[in-house]
Chain A
Amino acid sequence: MSLEAPEPSTHTDVGVTETGLDYDVLESLLGELVIDRETHHNAEAFVVRPDRVADALSVLREEAGFDHCSCVTAQQYEDRYESIYHLKKYDDPTQEVGVVVPTSIHEPKSQSGSGVYRTADWHEREAYDLVGIEYDDHPDLRRILLPETWQGHPLSQNYDQERQQVVPLTEHANPLEEDHRGGTDTMFINIGPHHPATHGVLHLKTTLNGEQVADVESDIGYLHRCEEQICQQGTYRHQIMPYPDRWDYISAGLLNEWAYARAAEDLADIDVPEYAQIIRTMSAELCRIASHLLALGTFAIDVYGDFSAIFMYAFRDREVVQNILEDLTGQRMMFNYFRLGGVAWDLPEPREKFFEKTRDFLDELPTRLEEYHNLVSGNEVLQLRCVDTGILEPEVAKQYGCTGPVARGSGVDYDLRRDDPYGYYDRLDWDVVTEDGCDNYSRVLVRLREVEESAKIIDQCVNLLEEWPEDDRTIQSNVPRTLKPDPDTEIYRAVEGAKGELGIYIRSDGTDTPARFKIRSPCFSNLQALPEMAEGEYVPDLVAALGSLDIVLGEVDR
């Protein structure tokens, strides 16, 4: 899987005007490829014939500079199937465009976009798996989340959930017998789904050449909990909000809730009071700290072995964050604290005590970080292990749609908090952290430094909240009891989750539940880049690279 360096796109500003994108210019660029236009809430979308998808995508990528395919959504209507490619620019994610590909209900065949965007590979496999659209010239169109032998496509209409299923467990030959892949003297080894280094239930089909990784293929779906189906069954106002907590369950719950809140609020045109925005910003950053600390702790397990001091220290500090969040939300992990149009309740009384507790944590943090830097980033053995291993070049990272600390560790300066501002971020003083190392070490370092930035944000929020006038503490705006967005409105909105761009696509059909609810998980895209990082490296580096990707299987599989 070598990757020839893609031509640097020179026309990144096609159709870019002062006020935003001029879609007419883009349409004329695409010319006859466009057969229709749709208006989504976030951007215009061009409808393209199913056999011209690759052409349209490559024009948009090469000539208009849309280098980030953030998501591929597939869905079934009464009369047709549809895939939507949500395209963005890494330089400016507010410039978005959709490519809508309708296919017939009887023969859902569509051209694959995986030749243009490498990341489309897995997204299309997922679309095939769950909805049932087939992609022509897809390199490897197999089921990705469900077992190979599954019957039916669960998110398509008329799927029978009561149907019996048979799931095989293939045993692999032991090492002393023949179990070679590719006929050479390599050894095939299953890492996972139960393995101490896979951070959950990931299965890596690894081919080893001695100690070196010749080939690695991730097999996911061991935690596919039907999150999309469940969200499609829930009502907008209350029944969906508890679930985002469980996508990225590493205490990053509020960041996920924000992703849903942002999409649904934009869809139904709900305002959020400023006071609630500040609370959201503060609590979300607390979650980010907790999440990054866990990433550090588990990375330490991967590289240090068993339950080392760093792991324990990271958990010690996480306990503090979780206590603060528990004071605020009433739960340690599954907060369910955001509401559409605000948050569930105000800061806990007495407020001074809450502020004091948060400040104590922030005051302690620099010392703690110093300790981590001494133990981790300053440790020579760790540097020996992690510098220049698991290389992910920025161009490759973009191809795979990597976002978050993984992309920022490769020098891709992409952070939705700054580039596509929401909440209170644009009025606070903080920096986006990037590192140019592209290696395991950079990714860990980015997370450590982001903790500092988050602390800065929290500090400013606490100050703001403390001085906020008492009669202006509105925590929720007025939201109709039963929320029914206009029929056939579509939106794709993303926030910067703990692991990267966490996007939600919602299509409403006029009822109080979404007709299609699609989650764009950052881990899903990030994990896809693992082979690029690990092939040719040693087994320990594979494990370290996986650790530095910081995946959460709940979010990968959803």
Chain B
Amino acid sequence: MSSHNQDTTGAQTTQEARMGEGVDNRFNSKLREAFGSSPFILTKFDSFMNWVRGSSMFMLQFGIACCSIEMMHTYAVKHDLDRFGSGVPRASPRQADVIIVPGTIVSKFAPRMKRVYDQMPEPKFVVSMGSCTCSGGPFQEGYNVIKGAEEVIPCDIHVPGCPPRPEALIYGIVKLQERIANGETAPVTVKPYELEQFGDLEEDELVQHLADQIDEEDLVMRYNWAESP
């Protein structure tokens, strides 16, 4: 999927790793590579495509916790997210452009969320909604809670709040649309938690202990709670 799977181990801290390598190339078409950087038509074409992507988006019908209630309010009567061309929730990730992550992510769910994110076709965007997806929010001290969605998938917009009001979510989505229309995206950050095959994990006590429980080829996510920010 992502070509930015950098190794986070070694001397690099999580913080450094997260700085990433700058802007990603999600918008760069093959044509642009072939023609060079600034022919008139391609520039116009690019800005047209950005306008297109910024004006209309399908959301993934995805609910986790408290914030999903406010998210539903945002879709529903009074706030009506569809005014901005982004109020069509699709049940299947294959047809969605934007995933709003509305709620606390816990250890058991993170691999599944990563999976759902991976199933979405490019270009895809992530709105992380609520304090929990920014940092773990009020549950940050929990033994089971991932300290923010950014640990698992790259986020384009963070909407803080517990939960954010529907107005705030709309603002976040409009901001995202604006940024897409201007051709800006968040740098693809390096995530500390990735899905790996169990067989590829570094051998240590824990891995040996689990060896008879988990199949070599099963995907696993390994949490290093001590290093979490």
Contact = CB atoms under 8 A, between A and B. Distances in A.
Given A166-B222, A332-B70, A226 B109 contact: no
B116 A194 contact: yes
A202 B106 CA distance: 13
B53 interface: no
Interface in B49-108: 61-66, 68-70, 72-73, 75-78, 89, 91, 93, 103-104, 106-108
Contacts of A149: 210, 213-214
A163 B72 CA distance: 37
A493 interface: no
A223 interface: yes
A456 interface: no
Nearest to A245: B66
B201 interface: yes
A474 interface: no
B226 A229 contact: no
Contacts of A221: 106, 108
A297 B163 CA distance: 20
A554 B65 contact: yes
B109 A225 contact: no
B36 interface: no
A221 B61 CA distance: 20
A22 interface: no
B17 interface: no
Interface in A297-336: 297, 306-307, 311-313, 315-316, 318-319, 322, 332-334
Interface in B187-201: 195, 198, 201
B177 to A, nearest CB: 21
A151 to B, nearest CB: 7
B10 interface: no
Interface in A465-484: none
B139 interface: yes
Interface in A150-176: 150-151, 154, 159, 161-171
Contacts of A316: 76-78
Interface stretch (A246-254, A369-377, A522-530): A246-254
Contacts of B109: 193, 201, 222-223
B61 A225 contact: no
B218 interface: yes
Contact of A164 (B143, B206, B218): B206
B interface bracket (residues with beta carbon within 8 Å of A)? 35 or more
Nearest to A316: B77
B145 interface: yes
A250 B69 contact: yes
Nearest to A161: B143
Interface residues of A, number: 59
A553 B207 CA distance: 31
B66 A334 contact: yes
Interface string A197-210: 00111000000000
Interface in A191-243: 193-196, 199-201, 221-227, 229-230, 233, 242-243
B138 A242 contact: yes
A242 B209 CA distance: 39
B111 A223 contact: no
B201 A166 contact: yes
A224 B89 CA distance: 26
A338 B15 CA distance: 39
B107 to A, nearest CB: 5
Contacts of B143: 154, 159, 161, 226, 229
A66 to B, nearest CB: 34
Listed residue (A151, A193, A250) with the most chain B CB atoms within 10 angstroms of its CB: A193
A230 B226 contact: no
A171 to B, nearest CB: 7
Contact of B65 (A230, A233, A553): A553
A168 B141 contact: no
B145 A315 contact: no
Contacts of A154: 143-144
Given A146-B107, A146-B108, A307-B75, 12 more contacts: A162-B225, A162-B226, A171-B218, A194-B113, A221-B106, A223-B106, A224-B106, A225-B106, A297-B72, A319-B73, A332-B165, A333-B69
22 contacts: A148-B213, A164-B223, A165-B223, A166-B198, A166-B201, A166-B210, A167-B107, A168-B111, A169-B115, A194-B112, A221-B106, A222-B109, A224-B106, A225-B144, A225-B145, A233-B141, A246-B66, A246-B138, A316-B76, A333-B70, A334-B66, A554-B65
Q: 5 tightest A-B contacts by CB? A: A226-B142, A315-B76, A249-B66, A169-B111, A162-B226
Interface of B: 61-66, 68-70, 72-73, 75-78, 89, 91, 93, 103-104, 106-113, 115-116, 138-139, 141-145, 162-163, 165, 195, 198, 201, 206-207, 209-210, 213-215, 218-226
